[in-house]
């Protein structure tokens, strides 16, 4: 299977795992965000991720744990509970129209503010987001700016971080005809988030995909100067040392941009296949780093425990894969 198809399936799965709507709750007074791109780039990561990372109350893992516990499978429920205790990014795709995405964002932000922590959102609705492959979808070029503006407007004045469109820039080589539409849309979205004072990170693929110089040029075209930085390793398995070495090269080529790395399933590194590989483990606990260098945080962006597809004994893509989740927990590597 091609790298493009592998990535598309993984990201389609992440959309299936997006959080359900939370019950309305009373929030604390929000902490105002800085309003300029330069401030967003210069601010301490401890300020931008104030209070630490938000843990969803009703994540897919949490629902699986409840279901398995009721079924009397204590071992499987325990693994799901272990995953549910950690912060996982909240995916926003075209399953939510403008009104719905406002509501989802608002309710998650309210829940996070009640606990004094910072939620991490992922946008995944760029037109032709997978270059016409498995994860077909996304808004039209005419509708997309209003959708991202709705997210930015809802987040204005609140603590939150947004990861903008995984694969959108790394995949441009697979659909070069999309470049003239996609890149300006991403740049406009970044400007919307910057105007709202929301730290945004752009797609930079992973250490085994696009050369640093090529990726840096794409990031510059997509408006990284107005963003906090970029993210790497979404839905992939590469170790932190590999990703950080790559990210530091990209950072040096983009005016010292900051970056975050997905460590949700990289605890045992790459295992030779993309689809439910055996021998993989959870990575480090998601956390905000000490702020040395450009690394802001190690995050769980991909939702661990869900199947990549009907391969290697797994159920359909997006379904909870209990035995795989148990292996991820058993082989967890926190270093």
pLDDT at 23: 39
Query: What domain range is 311 assigned to?
Result: 3-330
Please state the φ and ψ torsions of residue 138, each to the nearest 5 degrees: 105, 160
Q: What is the pLDDT along the chain (335 residues), one digit of tens a residue?
A: 444 445 555 555 455 444 443 333 434 444 445 445 568 999 999 999 999 999 999 888 999 999 999 999 999 999 999 999 999 999 999 999 999 999 999 999 999 999 999 999 999 999 987 676 545 578 899 999 999 999 999 999 999 999 999 999 999 998 898 899 999 999 999 999 999 999 999 999 999 999 999 999 999 999 999 999 999 999 899 999 999 999 999 999 999 999 999 999 999 999 998 889 999 999 999 999 987 789 999 999 999 998 888 899 999 877 999 999 999 999 999 86
CATH number at residue 71: 3.20.20.40
Asked whether residue 335 is assigned to any structural domain, the reply reads no
Instruction: Report the alpha-carbon distance of residue 88 to residue 206 in Å, rounded.
Output: 19
Contact by Cβ (8 Å): 34, 43: yes
User: Which residues are tagged catalytic?
Assistant: 130, 167, 308
Contact by Cβ (8 Å): 62, 87: no
pLDDT at 208: 95
| Cβ burial, residue 267 (10 Å; 0-12/13-18/19+) | buried
**3-state SS track over 58-118:** CCHHHHHHHHHHHCCCHHHHHHHHHHHCCCCCEEEECCCCHHHHHHHHHHHHHHHHHHCCE
> Edge-to-edge strand order for the sheet containing 287-288?
90-93, 120-124, 161-164, 200-203, 229-232, 258-262, 295-299, 287-288
Which alpha helices (DSSP H) does the chain contain, by range?
Answer: 3-16, 37-42, 45-48, 60-70, 74-84, 98-115, 144-155, 179-195, 212-221, 240-252, 322-330
Instruction: Report the alpha-carbon distance of residue 57 to residue 61 in Å, rounded.
Output: 10
Instruction: Report the alpha-carbon distance of residue 61 to residue 45 in Å, rounded.
Output: 28
Q: Is 299 left (phi over 0), alpha (psi -120 to 50) or beta?
A: beta
Instruction: Report the alpha-carbon distance of residue 233 to residue 206 in Å, rounded.
Output: 5
pLDDT at 290: 87
Q: How many domains does the chain have?
A: 1
Predicted TM-score (pTM) of this structure: 0.89
Q: Which of 333, 284, 324, 330 is nearest to 304 (CA)?
A: 324
Q: Encoding tokens for residue 54?
A: 């938000």
Contact by Cβ (8 Å): 313, 323: yes
Q: Encoding tokens for residue 285?
A: 């606990």
Asked whether residue 225 is assigned to any structural domain, the reply reads yes
pLDDT at 29: 43
SS3 306: strand
Asked whether residue 287 is assigned to any structural domain, the reply reads yes
Reduced DSSP (H G I as helix, E B as strand, rest coil) percent helix, strand, coil of the chain, to 5: 40, 10, 50
pLDDT at 318: 78
Contact by Cβ (8 Å): 40, 46: no
Residue 222, CA distances (Å) to 189, 239, 301 in order: 9, 27, 21
pLDDT at 33: 53
pLDDT at 25: 40
pLDDT at 11: 55
Contact by Cβ (8 Å): 228, 200: yes
Q: Which of 326, 249, 263, 238 is nearest to 294 (CA)?
A: 249
Q: Which of 133, 270, 250 is nearest to 202 (CA)?
A: 250
Beta-carbon count within 10 A of 165 CB = 25
């Amino acid at each position: 299977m091609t790298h493009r198809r592998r990535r598309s399936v993984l990201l389609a799965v992440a959309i299936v795992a997006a959080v359900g709507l939370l019950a309305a709750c009373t929030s604390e007074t929000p902490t105002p965000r800085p309003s300029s791109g330069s401030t967003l780039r210069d601010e301490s990561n401890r300020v931008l991720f104030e209070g630490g990372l938000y843990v969803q109350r009703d994540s897919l893992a949490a629902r699986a744990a409840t279901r398995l516990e009721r079924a009397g499978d204590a071992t499987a429920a325990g693994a799901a509970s272990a995953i549910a205790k950690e912060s996982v990014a909240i995916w926003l795709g075209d399953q939510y129209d403008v009104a719905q995405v406002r509501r989802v964002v608002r309710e998650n932000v309210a829940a996070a503010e009640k606990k004094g922590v910072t939620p991490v959102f992922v946008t995944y609705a760029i037109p032709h987001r997978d270059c016409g492959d498995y994860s077909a979808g996304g808004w039209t070029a005419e509708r997309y700016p209003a959708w991202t503006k709705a997210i930015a407007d809802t987040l204005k004045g609140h603590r939150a971080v947004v990861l903008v469109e995984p694969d959108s820039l790394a995949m441009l080589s697979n659909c070069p005809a999309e470049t003239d539409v996609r890149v300006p849309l991403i740049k406009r979205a970044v400007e919307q988030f910057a105007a709202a004072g929301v730290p945004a990170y752009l797609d930079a693929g992973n250490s085994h995909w696009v050369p640093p110089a090529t990726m840096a040029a794409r990031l510059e075209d997509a408006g990284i100067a107005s963003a906090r930085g970029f993210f790497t390793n979404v839905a992939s398995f590469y170790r932190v040392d590999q990703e950080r070495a790559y990210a530091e090269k990209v950072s040096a080529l983009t005016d010292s941009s900051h970056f975050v790395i997905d460590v949700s399933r990289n605890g045992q590194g790459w295992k030779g296949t993309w689809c439910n590989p055996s021998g993989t483990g959870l990575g480090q606990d998601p956390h905000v780093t000490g702020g040395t260098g450009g690394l802001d945080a190690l995050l769980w962006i991909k939702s661990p425990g869900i199947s990549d597809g009907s391969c290697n004994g797994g159920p359909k893509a997006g379904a909870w894969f209990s035995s795989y989740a148990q292996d991820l927990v058993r082989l967890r590597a926190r270093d």
